[in-house]
A and B are shown apart, each in its own frame.
Chain A
Amino acid sequence: MIVYLVRRFGQSLLAVVAMAVLVFMGVYAIGNPVDVLISPEASQADIAAATARLGLDKPLWQQFGIFVINAFQGDLGTSFVYGRPALDIILERLPATFELAMVALFLSVGIGVPLGVWAGMRPESIAGRTIMAGSILGFSLPNFWQGMLLILVFAVLLGWLPAGGRGQTTEFLGMQVSFLTLDGLSHLILPAINLALFKMSLLIRLTRANTREVCLQDYVKFARAKGLSGRRVVLVHILKNIMIPVVTIIGLELGSMLAFAIVTETVFAWPGMGKLLIDSINLLDRPVIVAYLMLTVLIIVMINFMVDVIYSFLDPRIRLSEMKG
């Protein structure tokens, strides 16, 4: 088990390093930020001074070296725009995105898994078919369009919920959160649904396919032959087996939800990291972009690592064979 975890940790580290190189190289290719930051009438000397101040006059490999050394000290550069550490700016926005992603994840698992199991148990029933048809819609309609439709129906036509912003926040575990106040919650619902719909559809399909497969297994029939209640057969014998792939997907999707809440945040003016990224790209605020990408990679790698750990707990076959190995 320890050997397994150490090996997985090494792999994770390698992934982060590889991404650091890619991100740095990739972002370096984006136009010259000095052009954006300095007024068009600035003299050649002003431009040179600004370039030197930002460290952009050094050769590429030196810039990367400085970037890596600083990164290890938690310094991912200073925002060209805000003049403050890029990481701080992103971390300020992280709680909003994190909250949105968690609520969306909660919705997609809490609704997607039960619906998927239901549809898998009765694939031919009307309910089962309706669930599947719904998931196809959630799957294929573009995310931003779903978001705008939600705003149109619930904010504009019905006027039940606000169309954007974060609403009133309170402090919870040292973070500003919306879900504890009524106003915050009403702001949270629509973007969370929007972010959840795609994942929910994914989970419905995954859970349904797995449920159908597991249902055909002899051990399910044997469980019924033992006289267990239908409830226990589904909640223990079937669910425990389909949780293995579901947890994997949840882990992967949580990472991507955090990272790519961009569309939802933009549509609903949700002040999170995604919106910050879009703004920074428009302003060519290179350190913020780099810091955002690096942080995202780190989060995804960490989540994947944790998923592997949970996975090994769920599946005794992996845990025990790795223990021996």
Chain B
Amino acid sequence: MTKLLEIRDLHTHFFTRDGIAKAVDGVSLSLERGQILGLVGESGSGKSVTGFSILGLVDAPGRVVSGQVLFDGTDLIAGGERLLRTLRGKRIAMIFQDPMMTLNPVLRIDTQMIETVRAHEDVSRDEALRRSREALVSVGISSPDERLETYPHQFSGGMRQRVAIAIALLHKPDLIIADEPTTALDVTIQAQILSEVQALCANSGTALIWITHDLAVVSGLADHLAVMYAGRIIEEGPTRDVIAQPMHPYTKGLIESVPRGKKHGALLSQIKGMTPSLLRLPSGCKFRPRCPRATAACEIEPALDVMDQGRRVRCVHPHTENYPEVLAK
């Protein structure tokens, strides 16, 4: 059976006045039906642009320069706008980061939901309304009839994000791309939404790409992790394995900077330095200037090497000591 999604060597560049920012620089990823992929990395590493590239929603001055996005075997890049429009919201839905900005402030919730139903299916207004109501209930919104007749500003952030999720679920898509959907919300709501989305996807067999800069958020959610740095995937593998033994020094740094229950009060280690500007990247390994393990050998860009157990890592000096025995513990 073909994979649900297979991204092959995707390049998305922004042609700015100051130069070309290679926001996505040779990303390859794949996703099975119903699988949850966590896409992790610091802000500016190209996660959102990867998500937008899949749906063909990259804004000028950005453009997908090369690569393939095979969705259910069909290349979306070659398919162009016409094909993409039939898939967007129907088979691939997206949820955005800031729920205060994603709903149109001057349109009622019912308008924004009904138009989504009717963009893809020729059904009556009543039928579309019925489905909208159902979707709102499924994301835990009570008294949906009243809610449908209100405007976004009458909702809290958490509620708005629920509405956005309900909109994403309207057509029971095969894939949802969730771009930091809980980052702007407070912690309790975050946890609620996280578990709700997980349950909804599990029930409907929807695959999920969960984009976040916060490893703690996805570690309990995703089946698979991909870590991005400066437009590339630098490490990838099953979530459990990556968390147990990160191989890339960057991933290790990310994990060590996550606060854990046990070590309450312990000092968190941090990755030194700052995310580099895409316009002034070092030669060789892009993480080199910040890496504790860097040597002269790192001046040549390492490839994304395939390791045991379906792991991939882009590093000259990966943490492979005792691997894979560590995992057996």
Give A240 to B105 CA distance when docked, in angstroms. Answer: 10
Q: Is B87 a contact partner of A227 (Cβ separation < 8 A)?
A: yes
Q: Which residues of B contact A225 (CB under 8 A)?
A: 55, 57, 88-89, 93-94, 96
Instruction: Please give the distance in Å from B135's CB to the nearest CB on chain A.
Output: 13
Nearest residue, chain A, Cβ from B51: A225
Whether B119 sits at the interface, judged by CB under 8 Å, is yes
Q: Is A228 a contact partner of B101 (Cβ separation < 8 A)?
A: no
Interface of B is mostly: mixed
Nearest residue, chain A, Cβ from B89: A227
Nearest residue, chain A, Cβ from B151: A316
Whether A38 sits at the interface, judged by CB under 8 Å, is no
Q: Which residues of B contact A171 (CB under 8 A)?
A: none
Whether B164 sits at the interface, judged by CB under 8 Å, is yes
Number of interface residues of A (CB under 8 A): 25
Number of A-B contacts (CB under 8 A): 81
Q: Which residues of A contact B104 (CB under 8 A)?
A: 219, 222-223, 237, 240-241
Size bracket of the B interface: 20 to 34
Whether A232 sits at the interface, judged by CB under 8 Å, is yes
Nearest residue, chain A, Cβ from B106: A240
Q: A222-B102, A227-B119, A228-B116 are in contact. Are A320 and B151 (CB under 8 A)?
A: yes
Q: A218-B96, A317-B151 are in contact. Are A227 and B120 (CB under 8 A)?
A: yes
Nearest residue, chain A, Cβ from B56: A224
Nearest residue, chain B, Cβ from A241: B106
Q: Is A218 a contact partner of B106 (Cβ separation < 8 A)?
A: no
Q: Residues on A close to B: CB < 8 A? A: 124, 216-219, 221-229, 232, 236-237, 240-241, 244, 314-317, 320
Q: Residues on B close to A: CB < 8 A? A: 52, 55, 57, 59-60, 85-90, 93-94, 96-98, 101-108, 115-116, 119-120, 151, 153-154, 164, 167
- Beyond known contacts A222-B102, A226-B93, A227-B86: 20 more, CB 8 A cutoff: A124-B60, A216-B59, A218-B102, A219-B103, A221-B52, A221-B57, A221-B96, A222-B164, A225-B57, A226-B88, A226-B89, A226-B119, A228-B115, A237-B104, A237-B107, A241-B104, A315-B106, A320-B151, A320-B153, A320-B154
